[in-house]
Amino acid sequence: MPPSRLPDNSFFALFVVGLLGAGHCAGMCGGIVGALSLQAPRQGGAALAVHLAYHAGRIASYALAGLLAGGFGQAVANLWALQQGLYLFASLMLAAMGLYLLGLTQTLAWLERGGQRLWQRLQPLTGRFLPVQGPAQALPLGLLWGWLPCGLVYSALTTALAAGSALKGALSMLAFGLGTLPNLLLAGLLFTRFRRFAQAAATRVVSGLLVLGYGLYGLYNIVRSL
């Protein structure tokens, strides 16, 4: 019988991808987070609330995208050939993410071009919530910025297609989103230390091999089921 979904421990793999894809996340969203720091209230508690609201919106958009992708995968669960194709694609993308974290490929960039058309429609809406004065503006801003074209996000999203259900698709992307949170939320000295850890060569090698292993395990399941 063919595999119907990725193994449940792919949630952990996606969390690791988000956590240790630090350089990519900082490059894509670091400027936005920096702008929030300049615009948000300076008091510690109020500033933290703004950042938490922004990231809650961003991660909620990831989960919504995962819900839709997982729902589609569930809808075609009875179509064996298509289901196998989705599973194969998701496994290959997990392997590609592992190679990306190892620094062996930059091919994820082509995925970003696919989302540019949607982003061109959404980006003008972000102006309605700028400047950010509090969580009421930060939350919808995060919801919109969650659809920013990002190869790392899109490659994680492919795994939601093979998650087996809409709920598990949403949980897959929630795990990924939570993994990105520390790198984009922490600031000051603690942020600097975390960034150094996440970008260290040894960290990237270990995390890349781990995620690559998940992808190869998925490919092994496909071959075994033939």
Is 4 part of a structural domain of the chain? no
- The answer to the question of residue 104 being in a domain is yes
Residues 6 or more apart from 26 whose CB is under 8 A from it? 183, 184, 195
Question: Is residue 136 in some structural domain?
Answer: yes
> Mean pLDDT across the chain, nearest whole number?
78
DSSP string, 111-173: HHHHTHHHHHHHHHHHGGG-S--SHHHHHHHHHHHTTS--HHHHHHHHHHHTSSSHHHHHHHH
Residue 5 included in any domain: no
Along the 226 residues of the chain, how does pLDDT read in single tens digits?
Answer: 344 455 556 788 888 888 877 556 655 565 566 666 556 555 556 778 888 898 999 999 999 999 999 998 888 877 767 777 888 888 888 888 888 878 787 766 677 677 788 888 888 898 888 888 888 988 999 999 899 888 778 888 888 888 888 999 999 999 999 998 887 776 433 555 656 666 677 777 887 888 888 788 878 877 887 6
pLDDT digits (tens, 9 = 90+) for 106-147: 766 677 677 788 888 888 898 888 888 888 988 999 999 899
Identify whether 61 is part of a domain.
yes
Is residue 139 included in any domain, yes or no?
yes
Say what angle helices 10-20 and 166-185 make with each other, to 10 degrees.
30
Containing H/E element for 77? Answer: none
Q: Mind giving me the DSSP string for 159-206?
A: HHHTSSSHHHHHHHHHHHHHHHHHHHH--HHHHHHHHHHHHSHHHHHH
Per-residue pLDDT, 98: 82
Kindly report the CA angle at 17 between 218 and 163, in degrees rounded to 5? 45
- How many domains does one find in the chain? 1
Domain that holds residue 40: 10-225
